[in-house]
Amino acid sequence: MKATQQLVDEHRAVSLMLKILDSIFIKSKDTMIDLEDVKQVIGFLKGFVDKCHHGKEEDILFPELERRGMQKNGGPIGQMLFEHQTGRSCIAEMNTAVELLENGESEAGQRLYDAGRQYIDLLVSHIEKENQVLFKMADSLIDEITQDRLYDEFESLEIERMGPGQHERYHELLKDLAAKYLGSKGEHHHNT
């Protein structure tokens, strides 16, 4: 399997979690937001999306593309890195809002909502840009042997950053939250 294909597959899992977060926000308009679920989502965004998925891109794929002549500053890589940073700020802001809410500061609900919305909007367009533009460019630049090597490097990074078995636990979490918040809509994503 191509290294880029693994990233596309992970994007499916990320997109599903974005739908779940969206649904949590919609449902909480009528009832209290379930902070435990939100904390689980934030844990997934920090661990799976940022440390693991973005780690694969920033530490392995992007440097390989630069070695093959793709420009960093002013090019697609620079834009993706900027968006990763923006995403991190949104996650940090959501985290802060949750802590404030847990301390009884109910007005932090709006902060959580705003940061979450910003994150969802950012990541939806970010994923599309990577899938439609960056990864297609990568596939034309990177030969099959290198794709295989990058794939192996991705696997090592995942174990190193998340620990063995964590990937599966994140997928279990996705499945549970999808069942709770999306009904059966999450079904076809479970095999990713």
Domain ranges of the chain: 3-185
**Does residue 89 contact residue 125 with C-beta atoms inside 8 Å?**
no
Per-residue pLDDT band at 181 (split at 50, 70, 90)? very high
DSSP state of 56: H
pTM to 2 decimals? Answer: 0.92
Using the predicted structure, report yes or no on whether residue 191 has a pLDDT greater than 50: no
The answer for residues whose C-beta is within 8 angstroms of residue 36's C-beta and 6 or more apart is none
Q: Report percent pLDDT > 90 for the chain.
A: 87
| Residue for token pair 């549970």 | 176
Residue-level pLDDT at 30: 67
Res 112: pLDDT: 96
Q: What is the pLDDT of residues 22-66, one digit of tens each?
A: 999 998 876 788 999 999 999 999 999 999 999 999 999 999 999
**pLDDT value at residue 109:** 93
User: Tens digits of per-residue pLDDT, 139-148?
Assistant: 999 999 999 9
Measured from the Cβ of residue 25, the count of other Cβ atoms closer than 10 Å reads 17
pLDDT tens for each residue of 91-135:
999 999 999 999 999 999 999 999 999 999 999 999 999 999 999
Instruction: Give the residue-averaged pLDDT of 165-180.
Output: 96
Question: What distance in Å separates the CA atoms of residue 108 and residue 106, rounded to the nearest whole number?
Answer: 5
Is CATH 2.60.120.200 the right assignment for the domain spanning 3-185? no
Q: What is the mean pLDDT of the chain?
A: 93
pLDDT for 2-14, tens place per residue? Answer: 999 999 999 999 9
From CA 20, how far away is CA 107, in angstroms rounded? 23
Q: Rounded to whole angstroms, how far apart are CA atoms 46 and 105?
A: 24
